[in-house]
Amino acid sequence: MYKGIIFDADGVLVDSMPYHAKAWVDVFSGLGIEVTEEEIYEVEGSNHIGVINIFFEKAGMTPDPDMYAAILERKRAHFLRNNHAKAFEGMYQCLSSLKGRFRLAVASGADRTIVTSLMDKFYPGIFDAIVSGEDVSKGKPDPEPYNRAVAMLGLNKNECFVVENAPLGIRSAKNAGLFCVGIPAYLDASKLQEADLILKDHDELVGYLNGLAEE
């Protein structure tokens, strides 16, 4: 029986990914690297180091070691300045009903300032553990984010499952040996085929989670 649920943040709990994508596009543009928002959605879940490495490599460039922190700061500032994210409908009420029955965690590729600000605003007091992109040396699809979340919850892997909306996040969960529920948010469901269970939308996710609370 499951005792813990680990959620990705952007695209699962909060409708925030468009603001992340726009921030990355603008920051990379300032570095002379052309990136589309769709390309950012494809690598959603990776931490800032992974995102920077992916698009520098595509451009045939190599970032200097001291560039990572500066690029992250520019991206963070852009996001916070332009962010109009909102919680997905019904999710706060759903997680409130799950709290106490399950241990709840977030494992996100975004930096800690952004993750905690969004969770404090939309899900205050809900989560027992939060893992940000800055808390791991290797971001998704590496299993480290979800391994860390399981450890912070004090549970075994067979007692936890993951809710994800992005291919790299699903791969991270599966690499960690966890059951993963996929929910399409910004990409078509066909991109989420590595998930163990794919739900059609957030309404179906709320119904699925509420069903667990009633068991």
For position 58, which CATH number holds? 1.10.150.240
> Range of 95's domain?
4-16+85-214
Residues 55 and 160 placed together within one structural domain of the fold: no
Give the residue from 31, 60, 82 where a domain finishes: 82
Report the pLDDT value the prediction gives residue 123, as an integer from 0 to 100: 98
In whole angstroms, what is the distance from residue 46 CA to residue 215 CA?
A: 34
CA angle centred on 73, ends 68 and 78, rounded to 5°: 130
The neighbour count for residue 120, using CB atoms within 10 Å, is 12
Residues 65 and 137 placed together within one structural domain of the fold: no
Q: Cα–Cα distances in Å, from 139 out to 48, 84, 111, 131?
A: 8, 25, 11, 11
Report the pLDDT value the prediction gives residue 199, as an integer from 0 to 100: 98
Residues 71 and 171 placed together within one structural domain of the fold: no
Name the nearest CA neighbour of 53 among 70, 39, 68: 68
In whole angstroms, what is the distance from residue 25 CA to residue 134 CA?
A: 20
Report the pLDDT value the prediction gives residue 214, as an integer from 0 to 100: 72
Phi, psi of 207, rounded to the nearest 5 degrees: -65, -40
Report the pLDDT value the prediction gives residue 157, as an integer from 0 to 100: 97
Give the residue from 61, 82, 103 where a domain finishes: 82
- pTM for the model stands at 0.91
Report the pLDDT value the prediction gives residue 213, as an integer from 0 to 100: 73
Residues 132 and 39 placed together within one structural domain of the fold: no
Q: Which residues contact 70 (CB under 8 A, 6 or more apart)?
A: none
Residues 124 and 40 placed together within one structural domain of the fold: no
Give the residue from 82, 105, 131 where a domain finishes: 82
Phi, psi of 129, rounded to the nearest 5 degrees: -155, 145
Report the pLDDT value the prediction gives residue 45, as an integer from 0 to 100: 86
Report the pLDDT value the prediction gives residue 118, as an integer from 0 to 100: 95
Query: pLDDT in tens for each of the 215 residues of the chain?
Result: 899 999 999 999 999 999 999 999 999 999 999 999 999 999 998 889 999 999 999 999 999 999 999 999 999 999 999 999 999 999 999 999 999 999 999 999 999 999 999 999 999 999 999 999 999 999 999 999 999 999 999 999 999 999 999 999 999 999 999 999 999 999 999 999 999 999 999 999 999 999 987 76
